């Protein structure tokens, strides 16, 4: 890029500019702003800056800022600062001066910070410019913040602004014209230098105007005369400082010094210790260069402004930087404005803040803000009072401007609070009155300084004026809270002052051990030596404070603000802290409020866990109760006693342990559980009984053989044979009646099963599931027996066919079954003897084959002895007994069998004389073993066929004899052929004869 | 009030307790019928007041678990077996929630436990295939019987005899005075193919023995000769769960639960099913007993239900 010709550029920009060189209007401003963004060359930048400086119309400037000019300026500022291009910096700063500023704007970027820092730069031009900027901005900010609260401030601002504008316009116009010309003709450096000069002049003028305005305003505000003086001096000093060695500025500054000194002297007179440092300090600092002094004087302005700003507006960036950086610089370099102020005018400045501080505390209290007084009083009472203050403070903070809260809190955070309070107790000793006590408390660290400062207050009037508005606002807004913080703030500045004072006086000679402050500065006064002084001071302070409060109610708040700012700067250690540290309880109340906050994060995880558990439980219960539809159908009533309870013995009649326990319960208290039942009962007392093992083995068999053994079989395993209540689902009830006619069949069936046990499940098994007409089943059984007996292949063949038929036929359809069976038998009809007879009997309308003349044809030989196992009476069947009945084999019919006499004879007619159940029961019971041992369930089939009634009757009947009577066969004897009991056996040993 | 058919058929649930979070494993009425003691798989012991129909007290036995809980003769003492740690039987004083004595010996889960009706003897059977005879006053076992299968055992109502069911096929009766001489009577019964005997009870009159199984049948046999008297069936037990069956105090009826929430009742005389009572128990009714003195019945799955007749006379 070729070097830019400034003139060309200006020409190009001509349409956008007014005759004077300023921006025409809002539209052009946005244009310029965009152009500026792209401007990288110094030439172009300088031109733009000059244009800005000359621009008159506020709307254009606002537009410019709005469109991004503010940021652009900031980037330039940073750039130039990094480049350490002081000339450009100066240009930029001047341009800044012309820009309208608002709080939001200042917060927008770091311009404010940078400029604040620049105000401490070495280059005095820049320093003055930037400090000017800072002053102007702080004013605007204050004005914005306090507009609502204080009309006075508004007025001030308006006046200032108007005046500024006027003066600026006039002068700037001239300047711009000149500058334009210069820029065209001369190099940049020349321009800059000239511009600087011009600007300086302008500034001076402005400052003067401002000061005058302020003075007027102050007078309006009814501020004290002293304050006015102070303010004037400070402001004048600031203005003078900006101009460096301006005779005008010097005069006011010197006057301010003088004024301050006498005032200090007054204060010191009240408090000897303080007074001494005050005197020394000024002298020491006055030694430093006049420039420094001037700068420092200027500083106070900024400091004050900043303080006030912070309170009211709460500009974070500026505050932080102002506070922090100045402090640092103070430490390092005294020349820094603030540091200088403090260093040099320690007495003045510090005392001023102190005075203000003390004043505010006193004033608020005395005036009407009960809060103000209580804190101090609290100092005396330390423990009790502090907490209540804080609570209100919190509330106020929240309700009021956020910025204020932040600042205040930042101040309060330090250990200083504790120190004060700690010191307070020590100091409390002397003071009789509460006020004194309160002061005395603070005095060791804080009170003494405040007293000293109190006088300065009056002297330091200069600081107060700018502060006035903010402080007033503060007082209005935060009556209670501010008071509390004021205390802390007061304490803060006090130590610093003391430090300085002490340092000056003692020259760091006696650094007190006070652990309170780790700060560099040595605590000016030791506890011991200071204690007395502090006492005195406190008294004096209290008096002074009262006076001051009476004098200036308005100033008090301002002083607070100043104190805060200063306090932060002072970094000095507080010597009085140690005792105060001993007491730190303020946290009582804080705890309460904090508990919630503290608990929240904790409770979150806990809540999570709890919820998990609850969910689990809910799931389980839901699972469990999912199908739980149980409902109480009846209302509960006290149950009645049952009448026919069978009680054989009195329960527990022989129990000894019962007695033991009753005794025990007399001595031992009943366990009552109100909250949680223990998981496990208590362990038993150690049992003293030894491990003597007299355990007997209980044999399974009777050693003596005297055991009565019974073997039984279930006769009613088949569900269909079981008794069912007709009420329930129409399940088959035992069919007692019809069984009489089928009983015969049952018998035959049984025979068949027994006989053909080895024939496999084919016929026999299948047979069992069918409901066949009696005649047919008889036929089948007969055939089966024949087949087994004869082993005739023909019979086998027949059997196979029958089996096939049975298996392939619906068991329930007896008619079809019969037809099929008959068809199957037809081929064999003539081949097998007796078959035709059987068939005919079957076809004879289902008549019992044994009745239909079948007896003659019946296979007599088939009837084995075993079929006698089921001898039954055929009630109603006269003379139609199957042949088998006449053939009762000796093997089954024991001679001594009880049923013997009652056995149904062949010709016997079933009738009332029949023994019935009992007899049969016996029979069944005793005879079954024979069957039983042959197969698992030999009687299954027969049960279905009609046996049940009889069997069941038998089963239920009581045996005739008692236990052990010889009514059954000895199993051992039958099986093994012998019995170890021999003749002594209780069971029958069937002999060959029997 | 007499227990007659109509009364039995009119039994209805009149109280439901959901005190337990798990299956109720056993219950036992006190001899006077005024309280009911239950054990649960959630390791809690709940005592109910049967007259007021309320839960009376709850104790925990988290450490050892609790099963087969039985009153002893003192009013506030109980005997229970463990489900945790070991299979020791524990004698607990409910009065002060303290164990009085332990009865170690069984090495596997105890499946049957019966208190003598008259004195301090009790008998226990375990899956370790032993039956042991004890006395409350001594931690030492008084007698042991070695079996070849799962045992069941019970005292007769007079407290003179105890019956041991062996291998689900025979019942042996021992005289307490000479149990070391062997059984004086043995009943051999056909072994049921599909189920084991899980409980054995004498009827209150001592004339019958009720054998409950984990299958679909309950058997009633004569107490003198073992003659099979009845087989009660028709209830569902599709899970092979040991379902308790109980006599009424007059020995005329037998009640049994089922897995489908129904309660079945049979007459011991006729074997006829008297009633199927709907309870809506959500789980299998494993425990059911009739109060020995009062006209009420208790059934339990996870929930405890008290039954009362709907009829008044």
Q: Kindly report, residue by residue over B156-194, the tens digit of the pLDDT.
A: 998 899 999 988 888 999 998 888 888 888 888 888 777
Q: How far apart are CA A927 and CA A921, in angstroms?
A: 10
pLDDT band at A577 (very low <50, low <70, confident <90, very high): confident
Binary contact (B225, A698; C-beta < 8 A): no
pLDDT of B67: 92
Q: Which of A637, A649, A698 sits opposite B159 (nearest CB)?
A: A649
Q: Measured between beta carbons, which residues in chain B are less than 8 angstroms from residue A620?
A: 21
Edge-to-edge strand order for the sheet containing B253-256? B245-247, B253-256, B262-267, B273-278
- Residue A884 pLDDT greater than 80, yes or no: no
Binary contact (A649, B224; C-beta < 8 A): no
Across residues A613-623, what is the average pLDDT? 81
Terminal Cα-to-Cα distance of chain A (whole angstroms): 146
Across residues B262-270, what is the average pLDDT? 90
User: How high does pLDDT run on average in chain B?
Assistant: 89
Task: With residue B305 as reference, give the H or E element that holds it.
Answer: strand B304-309
What backbone phi and psi angles, to 5 degrees, belong to A954?
-65, -45
Q: Which of A264-268, A365-369, A737-741, A967-971 has the lowest mean pLDDT?
A: A737-741
Task: With residue B122 as reference, give the H or E element that holds it.
Answer: strand B121-126
CA contacts within 13 A on the Cβ side of B106: 31
Convert the pLDDT of each residue in A120-172 to its tens digit: 777 777 778 788 878 887 887 777 665 544 444 444 455 555 555 555 555 55
pLDDT band at A925 (very low <50, low <70, confident <90, very high): very low
- Which of A656, A661, A685, A971 to probe the B interface (max B CBs under 10 A)? A661
pLDDT of B152: 92
- Which of B93, B229, B297 to probe the A interface (max A CBs under 10 A)? B93
* Percent of chain A with pLDDT strictly greater than 90: 0
Q: Which of A919, A923, A871 is nearest to A744 (CA)?
A: A871
Q: Which of A29-33, A441-445, A804-808 has the lowest mean pLDDT?
A: A441-445
- Tokens 């003078």 belong to residue: A240
Binary contact (B182, A717; C-beta < 8 A): no
Q: Measured between beta carbons, which residues in chain B are less than 8 angstroms from residue A657?
A: 72-74, 77, 120, 136-137
**A418 Cα to chain B: minimum distance (Å):** 55
pLDDT of A924: 36
Q: Measured between beta carbons, which residues in chain B are less than 8 angstroms from residue A710?
A: 185-188, 225-227
What backbone phi and psi angles, to 5 degrees, belong to A764?
-60, -50
Q: Which of B304, B248, B256 is nearest to B277 (CA)?
A: B256
- Residue A762 pLDDT greater than 90, yes or no: no
Q: Measured between beta carbons, which residues in chain A are less than 8 angstroms from residue B72?
A: 652, 655, 657-658, 661
pLDDT of A971: 76
Q: Which residues pair with B264 in a beta bridge?
A: B256, B276
Beta strands in B136-291 (DSSP E): 138-146, 152-155, 161-166, 170-175, 185-188, 197-202, 208-213, 218-222, 228-232, 245-247, 253-256, 262-267, 273-278, 287-290
Tokens encoding A313: 């507006």
Binary contact (A632, B185; C-beta < 8 A): no
- Residue A583 pLDDT greater than 80, yes or no: no
C-beta separation of A646 from B204 below 8 A: yes
pLDDT of A610: 84
Q: How far apart are CA A439 and CA A556, in angstroms?
A: 16
- Which of B35, B54, B96 to probe the A interface (max A CBs under 10 A)? B96
Tokens encoding A511: 């650094």
Convert the pLDDT of each residue in A775-786 to its tens digit: 666 666 666 666
Binary contact (B95, A723; C-beta < 8 A): no
Q: Is A602 helix (H, G, I), strand (E, B) or coil?
A: helix
**B109 Cα to chain A: minimum distance (Å):** 20
Binary contact (A702, B305; C-beta < 8 A): no
Q: Which of A670, A959, A963 sits opposite B185 (nearest CB)?
A: A963
Across residues A589-599, what is the average pLDDT? 54
- Residue A176 pLDDT greater than 90, yes or no: no
DSSP code for A301:
H
Task: With residue B278 as reference, give the H or E element that holds it.
Answer: strand B273-278
Q: How far apart are CA B135 and CA A785, in angstroms?
A: 61
Q: What are the CA-CA distances from residue A941 to residues A783, A937, B13 (Å)?
A: 17, 9, 42
Q: Measured between beta carbons, which residues in chain A are less than 8 angstroms from residue B230?
A: 716, 723, 956
Convert the pLDDT of each residue in B32-48 to its tens digit: 999 999 999 989 999 99
Across residues B270-293, what is the average pLDDT? 89
The strand pair at B138-146 and A696-697 is best described as: parallel
Convert the pLDDT of each residue in A226-241 to its tens digit: 444 444 444 444 443 4
Q: Measured between beta carbons, which residues in chain A are less than 8 angstroms from residue B76?
A: 661, 665
Q: Which of A649, A773, A710 is nearest to A971 (CA)?
A: A710
Q: Measured between beta carbons, which residues in chain A are less than 8 angstroms from residue B184?
A: 702, 706-708
Convert the pLDDT of each residue in A264-309 to its tens digit: 444 434 433 333 333 334 444 444 444 544 554 555 555 555 544 4
Residues 6+ away with beta carbon under 8 Å from B133: A698, B121, B122, B123, B141, B142, B143, B144, B145, B162, B179
- Residue B144 pLDDT greater than 60, yes or no: yes
Q: Which of B63, B228, B276 sits opposite A728 (nearest CB)?
A: B276
pLDDT of B124: 94
**B129 Cα to chain A: minimum distance (Å):** 13
- Residue B212 pLDDT greater than 80, yes or no: yes
Terminal Cα-to-Cα distance of chain B (whole angstroms): 7
- In chain B, DSSP finds a helix count (H) and a strand count (E) of 1, 28
Q: Measured between beta carbons, which residues in chain A are less than 8 angstroms from residue B144?
A: 695-698
Beta strands in A97-212 (DSSP E): none
pLDDT of A550: 45
Tokens encoding A742: 């089928």
**A626 Cα to chain B: minimum distance (Å):** 9
pLDDT of B138: 87
Q: Measured between beta carbons, which residues in chain B are less than 8 angstroms from residue A677?
A: 58-60, 97
Binary contact (B187, A712; C-beta < 8 A): yes
Q: Which residues pair with B143 in a beta bridge?
A: A696, B133
Q: Which of B1, B137, B282 sits opposite A641 (nearest CB)?
A: B1
pLDDT of A820: 67
Q: Which of B16, B73, B250 sits opposite A657 (nearest CB)?
A: B73
Q: Which of B266, B214, B261, B203 is nearest to B240 (CA)?
A: B214
pLDDT band at A693 (very low <50, low <70, confident <90, very high): low
Q: Which residues pair with B277 in a beta bridge?
A: B263
Q: Between the ranges A90-94, A665-669, B307-311, where is the mean pLDDT highest? A: B307-311
pLDDT of B255: 93
- Which of B94, B215, B272 to probe the A interface (max A CBs under 10 A)? B272
pLDDT of A765: 35
pLDDT of B133: 92
Across residues A364-383, what is the average pLDDT? 42
Q: Number of residue pairs across A and B with CB atoms under 8 Å?
A: 352
Binary contact (A624, B58; C-beta < 8 A): no
pLDDT of A45: 81
Binary contact (B118, A651; C-beta < 8 A): yes
**A921 Cα to chain B: minimum distance (Å):** 10
Across residues A20-41, what is the average pLDDT? 78
Q: Which of B2, B15, B101 sits opposite A644 (nearest CB)?
A: B2
Q: Which of A698-702, B52-56, B180-184 has the lowest mean pLDDT?
A: A698-702
pLDDT of A455: 41
Binary contact (B99, A731; C-beta < 8 A): no
**A861 Cα to chain B: minimum distance (Å):** 33
- Which of B51, B84, B90, B97 to probe the A interface (max A CBs under 10 A)? B97
Q: Measured between beta carbons, which residues in chain B are less than 8 angstroms from residue A685?
A: 100
Separation of CA B271 from chain center: 21
Q: How far apart are CA A958 and CA A163, in angstroms?
A: 135
Q: Measured between beta carbons, which residues in chain A are less than 8 angstroms from residue B227?
A: 710, 712, 921, 925, 955, 959
Q: How far apart are CA A977 and CA A970, in angstroms?
A: 10
Binary contact (A695, B147; C-beta < 8 A): no
- C-beta neighbour count of A650 within 10 angstroms: 10
User: How high does pLDDT run on average in chain A?
Assistant: 55
Q: How far apart are CA B131 and CA B167, in angstroms?
A: 12
Q: Between the ranges A15-24, A644-653, B59-68, where is the mean pLDDT highest? A: B59-68
**A621 Cα to chain B: minimum distance (Å):** 8
Convert the pLDDT of each residue in A64-117 to its tens digit: 777 777 888 888 888 887 877 778 888 888 878 777 777 777 777 777 777 777
pLDDT of A469: 45
* Percent of chain A with pLDDT strictly greater than 70: 27
DSSP code for A196:
H
pLDDT of A381: 45
- Which of B273, B274, B300 to probe the A interface (max A CBs under 10 A)? B273
Q: Which of A135-149, A296-310, A928-942, B263-277 has the lowest mean pLDDT?
A: A928-942
Across residues B266-284, what is the average pLDDT? 87
What backbone phi and psi angles, to 5 degrees, belong to A682?
-65, 150
Convert the pLDDT of each residue in A896-922 to its tens digit: 333 333 444 333 333 333 333 333 333
Binary contact (A658, B96; C-beta < 8 A): no
CA contacts within 13 A on the Cβ side of A237: 34
pLDDT band at A589 (very low <50, low <70, confident <90, very high): low
pLDDT of B126: 92
Q: Measured between beta carbons, which residues in chain A are less than 8 angstroms from residue B272?
A: 723-725
pLDDT of A231: 42
Binary contact (A702, B158; C-beta < 8 A): no
Q: Measured between beta carbons, which residues in chain A are less than 8 angstroms from residue B18?
A: 625, 628
**A417 Cα to chain B: minimum distance (Å):** 57
Binary contact (A640, B101; C-beta < 8 A): no
Across residues A524-533, what is the average pLDDT? 42
Q: Which of A247, A246, A245, A248 is nearest to A232 (CA)?
A: A248
Q: Between the ranges A58-62, A432-436, A560-564, A881-885, where is the mean pLDDT highest? A: A58-62
- Residue, of A296 and A990, whose pLDDT is higher: A990
pLDDT band at A797 (very low <50, low <70, confident <90, very high): low
C-beta separation of B72 from B65 below 8 A: no
């Amino acid at each position: 890029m070729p070097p830019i010709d400034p003139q060309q550029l200006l020409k190009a920009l001509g349409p956008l500019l007014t005759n004077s060189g300023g921006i025409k209007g809002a539209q052009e401003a946005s244009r310029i702003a965009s152009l500026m963004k792209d401007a990288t060359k110094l030439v172009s930048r300088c031109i733009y800056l000059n244009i800005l400086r000359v621009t008159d119309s506020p709307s254009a400037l606002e537009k410019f800022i709005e469109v991004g000019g503010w940021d652009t300026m900031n980037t330039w500022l940073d750039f130039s600062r990094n480049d350490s291009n002081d000339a450009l910096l100066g240009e930029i700063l001047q341009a800044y001066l012309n820009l309208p500023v608002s709080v939001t704007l200042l917060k927008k970027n770091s311009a404010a910070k940078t400029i604040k820092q620049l105000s401490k730069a070495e280059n005095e031009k820049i320093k003055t410019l930037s400090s000017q900027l800072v002053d102007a901005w702080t004013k605007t900010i204050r004005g914005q913040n306090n507009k609502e609260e204080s009309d006075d401030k508004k007025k001030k601002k308006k006046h200032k602004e108007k005046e500024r504008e006027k003066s600026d316009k006039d002068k700037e116009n001239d300047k711009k014209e000149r500058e334009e010309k210069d820029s065209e003709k001369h190099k940049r450096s020349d321009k800059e230098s000239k511009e600087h000069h011009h600007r300086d002049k302008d500034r001076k003028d402005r400052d003067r105007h401002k000061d005058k305005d302020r003075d007027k305003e102050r007078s309006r505000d009814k501020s004290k005369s002293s304050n006015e003086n102070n303010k004037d001096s400070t402001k004048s000093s600031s203005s003078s400082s900006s101009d460096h060695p301006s005779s005008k500025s010097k005069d006011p500054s010197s006057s301010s010094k003088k004024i301050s000194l006498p005032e200090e002297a007054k204060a010191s007179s009240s408090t000897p210790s303080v007074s001494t440092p005050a005197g020394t300090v000024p002298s020491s600092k006055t030694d430093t260069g006049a420039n420094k002094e001037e700068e420092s004087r200027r500083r106070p302005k900024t400091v004050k402004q900043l303080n006030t700003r912070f309170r009211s507006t709460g500009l974070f960036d500026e505050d932080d930087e102002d506070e922090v950086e100045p402090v640092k610089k103070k430490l390092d370099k005294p020349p820094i404005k603030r540091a200088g102020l403090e260093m040099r005018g320690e007495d003045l400045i510090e005392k001023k803040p102190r005075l203000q501080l003390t004043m505010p505390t006193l004033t608020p209290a005395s005036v009407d803000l009960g809060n103000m007084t209580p804190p101090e009083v609290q100092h005396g009472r330390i423990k009790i009072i502090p907490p209540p203050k804080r609570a209100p403070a919190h509330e106020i903070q929240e309700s009021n401007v956020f910025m204020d809260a932040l600042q205040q809190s930042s101040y309060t955070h330090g250990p200083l609070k504790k120190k004060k309070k700690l010191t307070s107790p020590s100091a409390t000793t002397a003071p009789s009155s509460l006020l004194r006590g309160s002061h005395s408390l603070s005095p060791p660290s804080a009170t003494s300084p405040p007293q000293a400062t109190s006088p300065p207050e009056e002297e330091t009037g200069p600081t107060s004026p700018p502060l006035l508005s903010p402080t007033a606002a503060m007082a209005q807004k935060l009556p209670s809270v501010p008071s509390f913080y004021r205390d802390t703030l007061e304490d803060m500045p006090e130590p610093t002052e003391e430090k300085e004072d002490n340092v000056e006086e003692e020259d760091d000679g006696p650094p007190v051990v006070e652990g309170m402050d780790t700060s560099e500065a040595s605590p000016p006064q030791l506890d011991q030596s200071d204690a007395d002084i502090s006492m005195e001071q406190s008294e004096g302070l209290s008096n002074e404070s009262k006076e001051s409060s009476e004098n200036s109610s308005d100033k008090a708040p301002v002083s607070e603000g100043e104190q805060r700012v200063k306090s932060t700067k002072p970094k000095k250690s507080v010597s009085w802290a140690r005792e105060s540290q001993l007491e730190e309880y303020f946290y009582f109340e804080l705890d309460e409020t904090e508990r919630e906050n503290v608990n929240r994060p904790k409770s979150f995880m806990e809540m999570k866990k709890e919820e998990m558990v609850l969910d689990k439980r809910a799931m389980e219960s839901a699972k469990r109760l999912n199908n739980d539809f149980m409902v109480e159908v009846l209302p509960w009533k006290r149950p009645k006693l049952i009448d026919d309870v069978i009680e054989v013995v009195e329960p527990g009649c022989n129990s000894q342990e019962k007695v033991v326990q009753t005794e025990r319960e007399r001595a031992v208290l009943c366990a009552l559980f109100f909250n949680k039942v223990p998981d496990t009962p208590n362990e038993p007392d150690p049992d003293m009984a030894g491990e003597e093992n007299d355990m007997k083995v209980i044999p399974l068999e009777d050693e003596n053989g005297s055991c009565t053994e019974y073997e039984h079989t279930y006769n009613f395993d088949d569900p269909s044979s079981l008794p069912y209540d007709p009420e329930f689902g129409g399940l088959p009830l035992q069919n007692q009646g019809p069984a009489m006619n089928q009983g015969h069949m049952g018998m035959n069936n049984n025979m068949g099963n027994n006989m053909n046990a080895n024939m496999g499940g084919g016929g026999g098994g299948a047979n069992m599931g069918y409901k066949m007409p009696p005649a047919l089943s008889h036929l089948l059984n007969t055939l089966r027996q024949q087949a087994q007996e004869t082993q005739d292949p023909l019979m086998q063949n027949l059997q196979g066919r029958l089996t096939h038929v049975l298996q392939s036929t619906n068991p329930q359809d007896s008619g079809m079954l019969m037809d099929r069976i008959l068809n199957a038998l037809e081929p064999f009809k003539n081949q097998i003897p007796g078959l035709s007879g059987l068939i005919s009997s079957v076809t004879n309308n289902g008549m019992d084959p044994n009745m239909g003349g079948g007896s003659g044809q019946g296979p007599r030989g088939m009837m084995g002895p075993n079929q006698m196992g089921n001898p039954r009476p055929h009630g109603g069947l006269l003379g139609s007994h199957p042949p088998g009945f006449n053939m009762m084999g000796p093997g089954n019919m024991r001679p001594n069998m009880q049923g013997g006499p009652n056995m149904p004879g062949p010709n016997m007619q079933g009738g009332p004389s029949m023994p019935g159940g009992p007899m049969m029961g016996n029979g069944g019971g005793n005879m079954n073993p024979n069957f039983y041992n042959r197969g698992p369930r030999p009687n299954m089939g027969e049960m279905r066929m009609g046996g049940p009634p009889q069997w069941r009757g038998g089963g239920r009947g009581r045996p005739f004899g008692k236990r052990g009577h010889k009514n059954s066969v000895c199993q051992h004897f039958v099986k093994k052929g012998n019995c170890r009991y021999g003749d002594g056996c209780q069971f029958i040993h069937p002999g060959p004869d029997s | 009030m007499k227990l007659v058919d109509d009364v039995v058929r009119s039994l209805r649930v009149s109280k439901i307790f959901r005190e337990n979070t798990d299956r109720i494993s056993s219950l036992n009425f006190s001899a006077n019928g005024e309280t009911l003691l239950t054990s649960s798989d959630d390791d809690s012991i709940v005592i109910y007041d049967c007259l007021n129909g309320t839960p009376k007290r709850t104790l925990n036995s988290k450490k050892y678990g609790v099963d087969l809980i039985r009153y002893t003769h003192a009013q506030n003492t109980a005997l229970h077996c463990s489900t945790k740690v070991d299979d020791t039987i524990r004698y607990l004083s409910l009065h002060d929630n303290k164990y009085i004595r332990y009865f170690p010996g069984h090495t596997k889960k105890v499946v049957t436990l019966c208190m003598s009706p008259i004195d301090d003897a009790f008998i226990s059977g375990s899956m370790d295939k032993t039956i042991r005879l004890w006395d409350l006053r001594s931690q030492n076992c008084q007698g042991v019987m070695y079996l070849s299968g799962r045992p069941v055992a019970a005292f007769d109502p007079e407290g003179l005899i105890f019956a041991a069911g062996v291998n689900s096929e025979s019942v042996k009766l021992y005289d307490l005075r000479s149990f070391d001489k062997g059984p004086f009577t043995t009943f051999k019964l056909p072994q049921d193919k599909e189920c084991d005997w899980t409980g054995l009870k004498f009827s209150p009159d001592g004339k019958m023995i009720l054998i409950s199984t984990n299958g679909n049948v309950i058997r009633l046999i004569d107490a003198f000769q073992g003659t099979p008297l009845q087989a009660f069936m028709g209830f569902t037990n599709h899970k092979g769960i040991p379902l308790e069956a109980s006599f009424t105090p007059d020995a005329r009826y037998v009640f049994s639960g089922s897995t489908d929430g129904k309660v079945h009742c049979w007459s011991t005389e006729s074997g006829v099913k008297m009633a199927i009572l709907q309870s809506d128990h959500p789980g299998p009714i494993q425990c059911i007993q009739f109060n020995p003195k009062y006209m009420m019945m208790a059934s339990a799955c996870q929930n405890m239900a008290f039954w009362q007749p709907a009829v008044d006379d």
